[in-house]
Amino acid sequence: MFRNNYDNDSVTFSPQGRIFQVEYASEAVKQGSVVVGIVSKTHAVLVAIKVITIDEHLGLALAGLASDARVLSNFMKQQSLSSRLTYGRAIPVERLVSSIGDRAQTNTQHYGKRPYGVGLLVAGVDETGPHLFEFQPSGMTQEMAACAIGARSQMARTYLERNLEKFEACGREELVVHGLKALKESLAQDKELTVENCSVGVVGLGKGGKGLEGFKLF
């Protein structure tokens, strides 16, 4: 049977157990701009062309379709605001990431919907410390120590793997430097990092590990 018999919607499995609509959405992520995320004991850092603040304690960077990222980021902002209004506190990072994973996964259960064609790296801090999560179009979310997604991200991942053991003990400035170096690895040889093609988002614990340091963009 031809592939196009199984790729008209996101609820039909091929004989090999594949959902082609999810694979197509994942291709959009692979064609997106590179995003790098790293976490240490005290801070989490995002380095990308565009970094978005979601709440005082977390933000995200995207690779893929900006329109889909806007839908998910607005949903995350609503969930964050709802938590503050209802419970008087910031929503835990893992719970918020799980909520967008559940929302994305339901798109593979209902006819007429499509997967979100965007991948996200979400960095945040809560009572349990700093966190970095990856979100995929399939709805899968996982916590990472370091991650890179987007076009040409393999070179950034190679840098992250080579220096992975150093990240845990890094302070804020060191972590930002590693993030910039990883992003630089993914650029074409004739390109340089500039303020026009690079943004940095940082979040973490306060000095001495006390209190929380809000999400800041640079």
Residue 31 sits at the vertex; the CA angle it makes with 10 and 179, to the nearest 5 degrees, is 120
C-alpha closest to that of 152 among 178, 123, 194, 183: 183
The residue-averaged pLDDT of 74-83 equals 96
The residue-averaged pLDDT of 92-114 equals 89
- The C-alpha atoms of residue 19 and residue 105 are separated, in whole angstroms, by 12
Token pair, residue 42, equals 């005290």
As a whole number of Å, the end-to-end CA separation of the chain is 51
Contact partners, residue 114, CB within 8 Å, separation at least 6: 9, 10, 21, 25, 107
pLDDT value, residue 145: 95
Tell me the CA distances in angstroms from 135 to 34, 103, 132, 195, one per residue in order: 14, 11, 10, 26
CATH number of 3-217: 3.60.20.10
Contact partners, residue 98, CB within 8 Å, separation at least 6: 141
Q: Which residue has the higher pLDDT, 24 or 98?
A: 98
Each domain of the chain, given as residue ranges in start order, spans: 3-217
The residue-averaged pLDDT of 32-48 equals 95
pLDDT value, residue 190: 66
- The C-alpha atoms of residue 140 and residue 100 are separated, in whole angstroms, by 9
pLDDT value, residue 1: 44
pLDDT above 70 as % of the chain: 92
- The C-alpha atoms of residue 7 and residue 140 are separated, in whole angstroms, by 20
Q: Which residue has the higher pLDDT, 98 or 190?
A: 98
